[in-house]
Each structure stands twice: as C-alpha cells, then as structure tokens.
Chains A and B, each alone.
Chain A
Amino acid sequence: MKQPEKKRRLGGAGGFFGSEERVYAVADGLVVDCVDHGTITRSRVFYDDVLMVTRHRMRGWLFLTLTGLAAAGFGLPGVLLLADRNAFPAGVIFLVIAVVFAVPCALRAALGLDVITVYGKRTKAVVRFWLRKERAQMVHAQVIDAVRRAQAAAADRYAAERAAYGESAPEGPPPPERGLGERGLGV
C-alpha cells in the first residue's frame, strides 16, 4: 500500500449548491480539491512553481446584500407581529430567523474575509478565513516560508547540476529558444 501522503488542511471556501473547495498543504506544495456534486477535481500548486502569494481583505457585497435582505425580510414583519398580542409567538419566530441572517451579515461587514491566493505557473489555490484572522496571518507566513525554502533548495540543486554539466548559472531570464536545424536540439 502506498504510504499516506501527509496532508494538513489549511482551509478552503464554500460555494453555492453543494460545491466546496478544500486546500491542503503537503510536503512539496498545496493540493486543491474542488468538490462539486459528488466529484472531486484535484489540482496541485507546487512550491517550486509559485510565482506570487497575495493576501487581501474583502467584504463580499453579494453575501452582505443577500443576508441583509433576508434579515430585513424576516425582521420587519417580526417587529410588526410583535405589536400584535395574538401574533406574538409568530413575531418571535420571525425575529429569531432574522437574527440567524443578521449575525453573519454584521460579522462579515465588521470583520471582513481574509483571502490568501497562491499563484503557480499552471493553477492557483485560494484559502479564505472569516473569523480566524490570526490563523490567516499564520498560514500566509507559513506558505511564504515554505515557498522560499523550496525554491532556494531547487536553486541549489540546479546550480549543482549546471556545475556538473560545466555550465555557468544564467544571470537573468533563460536565453531565447534556438531555432530548428541547429545541432544539439532535436526540437
């Protein structure tokens, strides 16, 4: 049996109608599992391929609008029903439902949503944190540190390979591709 790959869940993002994204940290990169109606689509962002790591705080106006409208939609009738003694229990029920929508709306408006995005050469990973701001900061620092270490190790490895080939390390971007017909390249 294949040795289990040690995966540590970093977080993810929930979507609409049964879709979800989970991000795990493994030894050599990040694994992104997109769960959509019973099917998991997996992609990887290797630390060696990371080009940029971003962090920003957003509010999510669609979320705020929908929850705000729902809170108002249940809260206003609830208040009106409370005024009527006969409909007092119904008013309480409406207000409880309104609170269920109002609390996340208020929390999101106040705290925002921290989003960390890791851009690789072929794909990206997005991790969202709502209430756990310290964890967002910690994960951001951990990912950056892991990328730095992996790319430094890769640079050392490639330098050793180049030394074995007898080439000097390139100063800047790789040289442009040579055309067809020249010796040494078969493509």
Chain B
Amino acid sequence: MSADTKLRRVLAYVGPACPWCGVEAPHDRMASGMQLCRACGGEYEGEIFRPPTAPMKVFAVAEQGPAGANACANHERNAAVTACERCGHFICSLCRIDSDDMTLCPACFDRLAAEGALPSVRTTFRDYAGSASTAAMLGVLFWFIGPFIGPFAVYFGFQSFLQGRKLGEEEGWVRAAIAIVAGTLETLGGIVMLYFFSARVRAK
C-alpha cells in the first residue's frame, strides 16, 4: 500500500471510495456493476446513485415590486421568505433551516444545537444501557463487590430508560430492565453474603 493510500485511510470521510483500501472512487465516471479499484486491485460490486439536486430559489428584494419585501437579516439583497421561530428575524431561503419541527436562522440553529436542544442534531450520547449491563455482569462475576456495584447497575439502568424516553427510542430497554433486576438482586444478595461471611469470621 502506498504512503498516499495509508494517509487517505486516516483522513476524514472523502465520499465514495474503494471498500478495500479506502482510496476515493471516481464516482462521476462510474457505472453500476462490478468495480475494480485501480489503487489496490480489489473487486467489489457497486451500485451507483446520482441524487437529485434540490432547487433553491432566492428572491431578490428589488424584484418584489413597488410594495417591496422584507430583506433577510443576514443577506440584505435577498427577500425574506419566513421568520425565525426563536428570534423572529426575517430570513431568506438560503438561511432557512428546518429542524425538529422548527424554522430557524443559522445563529439560532447553532445556539440550540450547542445547548443540546435539538434532538435530531445531537450526535453524542452516554451508553447507559451498556454501562448498566457491564456493571450487572461485573456484580455477577465478582459477587463480593455486588453491594457496591449493584447500585450502579440500577442507576445506569434507570438512566437508560429516561434517555430512551427523552429520545423517543425503544432500543436497549430490555437490557436496561435486566440490568436493574440483576443490580437489585446482587446488591441484596451481596449484602446477605457479606453478613453471613462476617458472622462466620466473628464466630471463629
């Protein structure tokens, strides 16, 4: 593999590429069917698509006639087509962003996305379901730490439920429920085992 190929593999996403070596594929010149990568010689089956381009009509303020039109707050020569639902500024079709059933200007969109107020834009989440099942499994494998790690399994399990309700997703609920039950049992069972163990030690 050439040095250029190696470098390309660690760079950010470049678009359609050879699935073997990651070198960018000449999508514009390709047709659907079996493909042969010129960089690595890898063969693969490729289905090519050319997605349609969305039309964008920008109306100039000067074209709106004597009555005129409101100008966009960001582009003074563009006529506004709507107003931002958060700040109320008039915005043109270039600035308009439709997200989460709201029409926003770019500034409000950036602000709300940074605050995490737009669920569809949020890209990073805590894996509470995975943490709950890991904690429950550790408590089962190492029973003597059950009283200490069981509560974490219960906590992460409930957080997973709340996160699922907030995001409107049902994935991971079964795993979270099992982790809550296991966490509760290992907490109680661990306490009982530790009590009997300490009782025997005291008796000796």
Q: Report which A residues bind B (CB closer than 8 A).
A: 1-5, 7, 9, 24, 35, 38-43, 48-56, 58, 115, 117, 119, 121-124, 144, 147-148, 151, 154-155, 158, 161-162, 165, 167, 170, 174, 183-187
Those 10 A-B pairs whose CB atoms lie nearest each other, nearest first: A186-B75, A2-B168, A56-B44, A52-B16, A155-B52, A186-B78, A119-B16, A40-B125, A53-B47, A186-B77
* Cross-interface CB contact of B168 among A4, A148, A170, cutoff 8 Å: A4
B3 vs chain A, min Cβ distance (A): 21
A185 surroundings in chain B (CB, below 8 A): 58, 77-78
Cα-based distance from A115 to B19 in the complex (angstroms): 9
Given known A184-B58, A185-B58, contact A50–B49 (CB-CB < 8 A): yes
Residue of A nearest to B168 (CB): A2
Instruction: Identify which of B126-134, B142-150, B180-188 touches chain A.
Output: B126-134
Question: Are A38 and B126 within 8 A (Cβ)?
Answer: yes
Q: Taking the complex as formed, is B167 at the interface, i.e. its CB lies under 8 A from any CB of chain A? A: yes
B54 surroundings in chain A (CB, below 8 A): 154, 158
Digitize B165-177: 1 where CB-to-A-CB distance is under 8 Å, 0 elsewhere.
1011111000000
Q: Which of B49, B53, B78, B167 has the most CB of A within 10 A?
A: B49
Given known A38-B131, A40-B127, A42-B123, contact A51–B49 (CB-CB < 8 A): yes
Cα-based distance from A158 to B55 in the complex (angstroms): 6
Question: Are B60 and A39 within 8 A (Cβ)?
Answer: no
For window 145-204 of B, CB contacts with A under 8 Å fall at 165, 167-171
A55 surroundings in chain B (CB, below 8 A): 44-45
* Cross-interface CB contact of B52 among A121, A154, A186, cutoff 8 Å: A154
The bracket for how many chain B residues form the interface is: 35 or more
Q: Taking the complex as formed, is B70 at the interface, i.e. its CB lies under 8 A from any CB of chain A? A: no
Residue of B nearest to A162 (CB): B55
Digitize B25-46: 1 where CB-to-A-CB distance is under 8 Å, 0 elsewhere.
1010010000100000011111
Question: Are B75 and A52 within 8 A (Cβ)?
Answer: no
Residue of B nearest to A143 (CB): B47
* Cross-interface CB contact of A170 among B13, B53, B78, cutoff 8 Å: B53
8 inter-chain pairs at a CB distance below 8 angstroms, sorted by A residue, are: A7-B169, A24-B171, A40-B125, A51-B49, A52-B27, A144-B47, A155-B52, A184-B60
Question: Are B19 and A117 within 8 A (Cβ)?
Answer: yes
B127 vs chain A, min Cβ distance (A): 5
Q: Which of B50, B51, B54 has the most CB of A within 10 A?
A: B51
* Cross-interface CB contact of B45 among A1, A56, A158, cutoff 8 Å: A56
A154 surroundings in chain B (CB, below 8 A): 51-52, 54
Given known A38-B126, A56-B19, contact A161–B55 (CB-CB < 8 A): yes
* Cross-interface CB contact of B124 among A4, A9, A39, A58, cutoff 8 Å: A39
* Cross-interface CB contact of A186 among B17, B72, B167, cutoff 8 Å: B72
Residue of A nearest to B42 (CB): A56
Question: Are A121 and B43 within 8 A (Cβ)?
Answer: no
Question: Are B47 and A123 within 8 A (Cβ)?
Answer: no
